[in-house]
A = this chain, B = another copy of it.
Amino acid sequence: MPRYLIYAQDQFGTPASKTGNSVIRYSAGHVAAVLDSTRAGRTSEEILGYGGSIPVVSSLDEGARHGADSLLVGIAVAAGGLPAALRDVIRRSLELGLDVWNGLHGFVSDDPELAAIANRTGATIHDVRRPPADLPVGSGRVRELDQTVLLAVGTDANIGKMTVMLQLRTGLRERGVRAGFAPTGQTGIFIESWGVCVDAVVADFIAGASEAVTIQAARDNDIILVEGQGSILHPGYSGVSLGLLHGSLPHGLIACHQPSRATFRHNAWLRIPPLKDVIALHEAIANPLRPVRTIGVSLNTADLSDRDARAIIERTAEETGLPTTDPVRYDITPLADAVVAFDRERRATAASPSGRPSAARRATTA
């Protein structure tokens, strides 16, 4: 695993450093320091409220002295290439022999000068949005796994699908379950140091990429938590979301929703349908490929009062008949318990004489 120096110049603690913040929240042990000279000398805890003593530093050298072996570039930049200042930081990182983990649309390894420096110093460039070569077309290969597969889906993009799965992994591990996370977007990839940005592959390969990630996450795990993307009703991203659903072929869904959100992200013309309808639609379009059940609901209530948040959680649980929580603000317990019960029930059914054991299970017991 890498030890990151997170590039957040001029913006650590602002919404623009969201990606880096998530890496600190879910992978603090792999963050050596944060680079932001305007906040140098403080700690992550002081600025974000989490991340403990991870220091904010003012230079690459200082980051390296804190043990960083990789520069993480996860900030949002305007389209159209690397800003000069950032390119300069990347160049000097590579000269120091630091690996670069880059989430920008522009690929560092396509820059001949930067690629040559990396080649000379032995640094590795990870352009995490670059699709792997030789992706297959999706063909339902996840059916061959014995593991329980869960996917986070949502009423909209950017609503907490990655977060609930990472919280769920923690909750499941605390319960002694071998649960693995399958990263399908840049932040998830930074956190895990592997994965595929399924929205960055050629359209024909969305399901194939989702299959590949799910199968890789199965190794040494009994439950696979697949990071969701977008929404099957989002006007821009629905294709990615459906390819991910049909590629990962989940047994169970975690439905994510933000109660205060009325319209789709960047699409104010389009109202978000009721959560119950969105859940039913996911099941209707997943079921023909593999029977699926929605296990629980994850609400993002960050912008509500505690009282309103608790009320909406209760009402949602009543309306959907599903365990419901805000896994960041409150407690993952309702979802973690529901997943454990779901997994147990599924395996009991699969193993019973009336159930159809999977090929993998048959092979193991043969």
A326 at the interface (CB under 8 A from B): no
- Closest CB in chain B relative to A290 CB, distance in Å: 9
Interface hits, A170-219 → B, CB 8 Å = 198-208
The 21 listed contacts between A and B (C-beta, < 8 Å) are A138-B235, A138-B236, A198-B203, A200-B202, A200-B204, A201-B202, A204-B237, A206-B240, A207-B235, A207-B236, A208-B236, A233-B246, A233-B285, A235-B246, A239-B240, A242-B242, A270-B289, A273-B288, A281-B285, A284-B284, A285-B285
Number of copies: 2
CA A233 – CA B203 in complex, angstroms?
15
- What residues of B have a CB within 8 angstroms of the CB of A204 in the complex? 199-200, 236-237, 240
On chain A, the number of residues with a Cβ less than 8 Å from chain B's Cβ atoms is 42
A305 at the interface (CB under 8 A from B): no
- What residues of B have a CB within 8 angstroms of the CB of A247 in the complex? 235
- What residues of B have a CB within 8 angstroms of the CB of A281 in the complex? 284-285, 288
CB-based nearest B residue for A243: B239
- Closest CB in chain B relative to A213 CB, distance in Å: 14
CA A281 – CA B232 in complex, angstroms?
13
Decide: A243 and B233 in contact? CB cutoff 8 A.
no
Decide: B238 and A242 in contact? CB cutoff 8 A.
yes
- What residues of B have a CB within 8 angstroms of the CB of A244 in the complex? 239
- Closest CB in chain B relative to A209 CB, distance in Å: 8
CA A316 – CA B236 in complex, angstroms?
34
- Closest CB in chain B relative to A112 CB, distance in Å: 16
Interface hits, A221-239 → B, CB 8 Å = 232-239
Out of B140, B203, B241, B277, name the residue touching A270 (CB < 8 Å): B140
- Closest CB in chain B relative to A280 CB, distance in Å: 9
- Closest CB in chain B relative to A88 CB, distance in Å: 27
CB-based nearest B residue for A138: B236
CA A242 – CA B240 in complex, angstroms?
9
CB-based nearest B residue for A143: B269
CB-based nearest B residue for A242: B242
A267 at the interface (CB under 8 A from B): yes
A139 at the interface (CB under 8 A from B): yes
A266 at the interface (CB under 8 A from B): yes
CA A240 – CA B241 in complex, angstroms?
10
Contacts A235-B139, A236-B139, A281-B284: A203 and B199 contacting too (C-beta < 8 A)? Answer: yes
- Closest CB in chain B relative to A159 CB, distance in Å: 16
A82 at the interface (CB under 8 A from B): no
Decide: B267 and A140 in contact? CB cutoff 8 A.
yes
- Closest CB in chain B relative to A305 CB, distance in Å: 30
- Closest CB in chain B relative to A207 CB, distance in Å: 5
Decide: A240 and B203 in contact? CB cutoff 8 A.
yes
Apart from A200-B203, A204-B240, list 16 A-B contacts with CB within 8 A. A137-B237, A138-B235, A138-B236, A143-B269, A203-B239, A203-B243, A206-B240, A207-B235, A207-B236, A207-B237, A207-B238, A232-B285, A233-B285, A235-B247, A238-B242, A238-B243
- What residues of B have a CB within 8 angstroms of the CB of A234 in the complex? 246
CA A200 – CA B234 in complex, angstroms?
20
Out of B137, B208, B267, B284, name the residue touching A139 (CB < 8 Å): B267
CB-based nearest B residue for A237: B204
CA A364 – CA B240 in complex, angstroms?
36
